[in-house]
Amino acid sequence: MRVEIPLINILDTLQLMYNYAAKGDEMKALLGAVAVSLCHIRGAGHPKLEDLQQRSLNILSGAAATQGIETQEVFVTWFVQQRLNDPEYFIPQLNQRLEAIIGDEWLFERF
């Protein structure tokens, strides 16, 4: 069974996780990258797409700011260097970080 969670709910969850992550934690940038990517992939035709995109960018830029990134030029370089433009990198990285936090306390059996 597959249940698709509404994009706005996913962004709410990502924002909550971002708020709980420690200042400067790499996970904040990974959460931002996922948020931006999901808006791009699933946002087409969404009535609140502009708001969702802005929220996603706020997560990502907040993560950058905690790492001392203050200008657009430095942000672009940081974004590429951190491989936040590569879902084949940032999704497994975030997954690995979340699995380390969750440990063996999964609600459902993993497949």
Residue 3 confidence (pLDDT) above 70: yes
Burial of 87 (0-12, 13-18, 19+ CB in 10 A): middle
Residue 56 confidence (pLDDT) above 60: yes
| DSSP single-letter state for residue 90 | H
Q: At which residue do the structure tokens 């969750």 appear?
A: 102
The pLDDT score that the predictor gives to residue 1 is 64
- Pairwise pLDDT comparison (3 vs 1), residue with the higher score: 3
CA distance 69 to 9: 28
**Stated pTM of the model:** 0.87
Which 3-state string (H, E, C) describes 5-32?
CCHHHHHHHHHHHHHHCCCCCHHHHHHH
User: What is the mean predicted confidence (pLDDT) over 33-50?
Assistant: 93
User: What is the mean predicted confidence (pLDDT) over 11-34?
Assistant: 93
Residue 35 confidence (pLDDT) above 60: yes
Extended strands (E) in the chain: none
Is 77 in a helix, a strand, or coil? Answer: helix
CA distance 96 to 108: 18
Residue 32 confidence (pLDDT) above 60: yes
User: What is the mean predicted confidence (pLDDT) over 41-45?
Assistant: 90
First to last CA, the chain: 12
